[in-house]
Chain A
């Protein structure tokens, strides 16, 4: 049986010779990202924790972006989403991304609202 994999990552900037070498390449990439996360998690640099962008500090932005990067490469290369048809990819990824983004936005706004009620209302800690 013939098997074809798309062997490029970084939009073609990095092309692997075989599927096995691509797997190891992606593993190295994921390891580097994880090590960066752990080092930042231990150091918690003041410059990143202290400064905010859109109500969240820069360190948390970095963590969340790196997590999405990792998720992308796990899905695209380990789960071979890169090799599936466009239809299947969109049916799975767009549905998930839309619904998850939706619930997170709604629920976090609600949580913040309750926080304000606790803070400015007459209600005790364990309301």
Chain B
């Protein structure tokens, strides 16, 4: 038995949606095929992420070391908890969505309003969480040095703890001077990418601090990043060091390979874009439920259709969660 019935005025006709062997309304069926094609887009993104990761399998950042922050917990290493929280938000908003669909099938307008409202709330909380996640990722925490070969060198003390650049970079030598049109070549402007310390300061500070070591993005056979000895570290930094990197953007990434940041922005960004569209569609349907459009129409199939889209967004997040944060 079909869940909802739409009269299209074409019953009994051969064309124009008359025969329906799939016993789903036109809108619902097309939503399914849209979801199918959209899932192929996401599969393409995730597959290309996998390819880049396989290309640099022994130099890929470890997600547990990158996403260690939780709001209001400064300096506490909390890997996974934040994304787990985001996952639960999305799963729970999926639950309220499917409850709204169920209430819609029973024509309970009040319940649909409540559940749609909770779904919207979950969508907004998820988007806010993602904004915070991006902000933290873009800002970075320890900073690193990029070599001429675009390898990322991170700094450790002899206990194996990460050290922030600001903690050891020399303050006096060659501080970074901001470029202005008056004091330099007039047609050259300050680059977009500014760091708080210069490479010279980092080098000076590193040579002065005996207990600092360098960690390479490359991993040993146990999957841990390789830490150089003091002598090797000095050689590496002095000979190959080129640029200070703080945080991540599309060109530089202090956490490791630049492609990691690129894919992070593209995949979670594309997913976040889908969530925004989902929130917008939910909002439109929510207002229509409130003003009684679907009561008058006699069925709540629109709620089912946006519900399908919303669940799809949740489904994609399940895969993003696995391949970005777990595997």
**Which positions in A face B, CB cutoff 8 Å?**
1-4, 19-20, 23-24, 27, 30-31, 34, 37-38, 40-42, 44, 49, 60, 63-64, 66-67, 70-71, 74-75, 77-80, 83-85, 87-88, 91-92, 95-96, 99-100, 103-104, 107-108, 110-112, 114-115, 118, 124-126
Q: Is B280 an interface residue (CB 8 A)?
A: no
A108–B84 touching, CB < 8 Å = no
Q: Could you give 17 example pairs across A and B, Cβ below 8 Å?
A: A3-B3, A23-B102, A31-B88, A37-B321, A37-B326, A41-B325, A60-B326, A78-B97, A79-B312, A84-B23, A85-B23, A88-B29, A92-B35, A104-B50, A111-B53, A111-B54, A115-B54
Alpha-carbon separation in the docked complex, A60 to B97 (Å): 31
User: Which of chain B's residues 1-56 have a Cβ closer than 8 Å to chain A?
Assistant: 1, 3-5, 21-24, 29, 32-33, 35-36, 39-40, 43-44, 47-48, 50-56
Contact of B149 with A126 in the complex, beta carbons under 8 Å: yes
With the chains together, A104 CA to B45 CA distance in Å? Answer: 10
Partner of A87 from B21, B54, B107 at Cβ < 8 Å: B21
The answer on a CB contact under 8 Å between B24 and A100 is no
Is residue B162 within 8 Å, beta carbon to beta carbon, of the partner chain?
no
Cβ A79 vs Cβ B24 within 8 A: no
Dominant secondary structure of chain A at its interface with chain B: helix
- Give the chain B neighbours of A108 by CB distance below 8 A: 47, 50-51, 54
Which residues on the B side are within 8 Å of A3 (C-beta)? 1, 3, 105-106
Q: Do B3 and A67 have beta carbons less than 8 Å apart?
A: no
Judge whether B66 is part of the interface by a CB distance below 8 angstroms. no
Is the CB–CB distance between B50 and A107 below 8 Å?
A: yes
> With A75-B315, A115-B56 known to touch, is A84 a contact of B24 (CB < 8 Å)?
yes
In the complex, B223 has a CB within 8 A of chain A:
yes
State in angstroms the CA–CA spacing of A110 and B36 once bound together: 25
Are A125 and B50 within 8 A (Cβ)? no
Determine which of B4, B81, B91 lies in contact with A1 in the assembled complex, contact meaning CB atoms within 8 Å. B4
Q: Which residue of chain B has its CB nearest to the CB of A18? A: B102
B54 and A34 within 8 A (CB): no
Q: Which residue of A lies closest to B57 (CB)?
A: A115
Q: Which chain A residues border B154 with CB–CB below 8 Å?
A: none
Taken residue by residue from 233 to 248, chain B's Cβ proximity to chain A (1 for < 8 Å, 0 otherwise) reads as 0000000000000000
B299 in contact (CB, < 8 A):
yes
A66: shortest Cβ distance to chain B, in Å? 8
Q: Is B64 an interface residue (CB 8 A)?
A: yes
Taken together as a complex, chains A and B put the C-alpha atoms of A42 and B64 apart, in Å, by 8
Residue of A nearest to B4 (CB): A1
Confirm or deny: B79 has a beta carbon within 8 angstroms of a beta carbon on chain A.
Answer: yes
Which of chain B's residues has its CB closest to A103's CB? B47
Main secondary structure of the interface of B (DSSP, over half): helix
Partner of B88, one of A19, A34, A60, A104: A34
Query: Within 8 Å CB of A63, what residues of B?
Result: 322, 326-327
Specify which chain B residues have a CB less than 8 angstroms from the CB of A80 in the assembled complex.
Answer: 3, 101
- CB within 8 A of B318: which of A1, A67, A83, A104? A67
Pair B322/A64 contact, Cβ less than 8 Å: yes
Inside 8 A of B56's CB, which chain A residues have their CB?
115, 118
Residues of A within 8 A of B48 (CB): 107
Q: What is the CA–CA distance of A125 and B33 in the complex, to the nearest angstrom?
A: 42
The answer to whether B55 touches A114, judged by C-beta atoms less than 8 angstroms apart, is yes
Contact A27 B95 (CB under 8 A): yes
Closest 9 interchain pairs by CB?
Answer: A111-B54, A111-B51, A88-B22, A100-B43, A67-B322, A38-B84, A126-B150, A107-B47, A107-B51
- Give the chain B neighbours of A20 by CB distance below 8 A: 99, 102
Chain B residue numbers with a CB within 8 Å of A66 are 322
Assess the A104–B43 pair: CB atoms within 8 A.
Answer: yes
Q: What distance in Å separates the Cβ of A75 from its nearest Cβ neighbour in chain B? A: 7
- In the assembled complex, the Cα of A41 lies from the Cα of B82 at a distance in Å of 13
Instruction: A75 to B80: give the CA distance in the assembly, Å.
Output: 25
Asked if B98 is at the interface (CB within 8 A of a chain A CB), the reply is: yes
Contact of B311 among A41, A74, A103, A107 (CB under 8 A): A74
